[in-house]
Structure 1
Amino acid sequence: MNVPSPNGRVAAEPPSDAAGVPVAVSLRGVRKVHGRGDSAVRALDIGDIDFFGGTFTAVMGPSGSGKSTLLHCAAGLDRPSAGTVRLAGTDLARLSETALTKQRRSHVGFVFQAFNLVSALNVRENILLPSRLAGTRCDRGRLAEIVRRVGLEGRLRHRPAQLSGGEQQRVAIARALSVRPDVIFCDEPTGALDTGTAAEVLTLLRQAVDADRQTVIMVTHDPVAASYADRVVFLADGRVVDDLPAPGVAAIADHLARLGARGGVSS
């Protein structure tokens, strides 16, 4: 769903090199292959890429270009077939499944198109779920600030079924912010929302970067949604084919059109 571009915002250019700049997520020689032998399908062959702390990156490309696979590998939801992923300074390949789960709970926030809220829990309980699973307490002042920021003050006792789609996504963003993660990964966070609501959600993500120096990595198909980011990484056939600082809606749309004209891509 297309959303209005942020009026008058000038995105900060991402760092041109890593000197003195914190790297939130680093991928080195990462490949992901599904299947074996003649039936093997290369989903990702990303090589080397860094995502810098305190920046907003959009990941785009044709359907099947490897966007979600990149996000899943970077977030530790899936293990690559080759290469290394370092998140918050930790090599994820060295972690057991239990340790990997703890790493995600402590250092990662997620916002998905389908919201992924627990229907039996109210808004407050959904926001606090990551802290509860990690066995930690969320600072009450922090919780109040997050709730105020996402505009859910009067909805804390409501369950997801009593909320609009936009409100549910606000709960998901508040849940992601509640643990002060090193990185917030978003997979098509505005795909199920109307135009105005999508703009509100993207503004919240933008504010998380600008106000809190959070790191946001967002997979999206929408050029206008991507225009909220500081940097847009374009994928095709599982590889990075372009990496541009705040290119603007027209340039993003043009890049996507040219990638689509290239034809078939991997799954």
Structure 2
Amino acid sequence: MDTAEDVRLQSVTKVYGTGPGAVRALRGVDLELPAATFTAVMGPSGSGKSTLLHCAAGLDRPTAGSVWLGPVDLAGLTEIELTELRRSKIGFIFQAYNLINALTVEENITLPLRLAGTKPDRAWQAEIVRQVGLAERVRHRPSELSGGQQQRVAIARALITKPAVIFADEPTGALDTRTAAVVLDLLARLVRTLGQRVLMVTHDPVAAARADRVVFLADGRRAGDLVRPTPDEVAERMTKLGKW
């Protein structure tokens, strides 16, 4: 994984609306996502977690500050260029798997490439299918899979373009505890074995504790980090954020 593709947020501010009713969702947030790192973001409801993810992923433009993917400042890109960058350099995993039931597992995984008009790297495709443990399921339809297997299809789909970074928004929110642990183990393994960058927004202290680092937000500001914390340490910090 190329360190030249590190993601950097510099003094990112996001304001929705104008005048007295304006909402300051982010207030000067700095964050860096180097290669081979798994970062979780936590905070109370309304703290700016989703806005941070959307700005970092180029889905929303900051009101002030900058977001960099390697040498590229996302603010300087047109909407078409942003779409192309997201398609080629960014992978997304959501709580809803967003799979197409009419397509097989293999077709769902390779869909981003077909939309971009490019052919899959068959060796890479075989590798990620093996990594997510779906080699025996590529001809199945999503309706024939468990929830955990469907989320693993979504992870493979996020990886197929060899993205610089993967953004995960509550990726285990719809899964039971045991299946969630399998998915989180998979994300952690992808960081270790492929040098992937993963930024995960979650409300679950157990999920957050699987990351290398937990970044806390409160009232749109960065409110501290924990490195390789236990779930209890994450939960304790969360209880204090309301007073932050």
In the superposition, the TM-score normalised over structure 2's length comes to 0.95
Query: What is the distance in 1 between the residues matched to 2:143 and 2:97?
Result: 12
Give the SS at the match of 2:210. Answer: coil
1:157 is displaced (CA, Å) by 2.1
Give the SS at the match of 1:56. Answer: strand
Aligned partners of 1:22 and 1:52 also within 8 Å: no
Change in CA separation of 1:23 and 1:100 when aligned onto 2, cut-off 3 Å: closer
Equivalent position amino acid for 1:166 in 2 = G
1:119 is displaced (CA, Å) by 2.7
State the match for 2:228 in structure 1.
Answer: 246
State the match for 2:112 in structure 1.
Answer: 130
1:48 is displaced (CA, Å) by 2.2
1:51 aligns with 2:33: yes
1:127 is displaced (CA, Å) by 0.4
The list of structure 1 runs, each at least 4 consecutive aligned residues, that deviate by more than 6 angstroms after superposition, is none
State the match for 1:9 in structure 2.
Answer: none
Query: What is the distance in 2 between the residues matched to 1:256 and 1:234?
Result: 8
Query: What is the distance in 2 between the residues matched to 1:96 and 1:219?
Result: 26
2:98 to 109, 116, 119: 116
Query: What is the distance in 2 between the residues matched to 1:185 and 1:82?
Result: 21
CA displacement 1:183-211 (0-9 Å, x = unmatched) = 00000000000011101100110011000
Equivalent position amino acid for 1:87 in 2 = L
Equivalent position amino acid for 2:190 in 1 = A
1:31 aligns with 2:24: no
The 10-residue stretch of structure 1 (159-168 or 105-114) with the greater mean CA deviation from structure 2: 159-168
1:86 is displaced (CA, Å) by 0.5
State the match for 1:92 in structure 2.
Answer: 74
State the match for 1:78 in structure 2.
Answer: 60
CA displacement 1:3-47 (0-9 Å, x = unmatched) = xxxxxxxxxxxxxxxxxx756211112111111111111111143
State the match for 2:179 in structure 1.
Answer: 197
State the match for 1:149 in structure 2.
Answer: 131
Equivalent position amino acid for 2:223 in 1 = V
Structure 2: which 5+ residue stretches go unaligned? none
1:182 aligns with 2:164: yes
Equivalent position amino acid for 1:113 in 2 = Q
Query: What is the distance in 1 between the residues matched to 2:239 and 2:117?
Result: 47
Equivalent position amino acid for 1:111 in 2 = I
1:106 is displaced (CA, Å) by 1.0
Query: What is the distance in 2 between the residues matched to 1:141 and 1:50?
Result: 31
Aligned partners of 1:88 and 1:182 also within 8 Å: no
Output the aligned Cα RMSD: 1.5
Give the SS at the match of 1:77. Answer: coil
CA displacement 1:102-153 (0-9 Å, x = unmatched) = 0011110011001122232221111001111222222112111211221212
1:160 aligns with 2:142: yes
Identity value in percent: 62
Equivalent position amino acid for 1:175 in 2 = R
1:99 is displaced (CA, Å) by 0.4
Structure 1: which 5+ residue stretches go unaligned? 1-20
The 10-residue stretch of structure 1 (134-143 or 34-43) with the greater mean CA deviation from structure 2: 134-143
1:230 aligns with 2:212: yes
Query: What is the distance in 2 between the residues matched to 1:164 and 1:72?
Result: 28
Aligned length: 242
2:190 to 208, 211, 220: 208
| Structure number with higher relative contact order (C-alpha < 8 Å, ≥ 6 residues apart) | 1
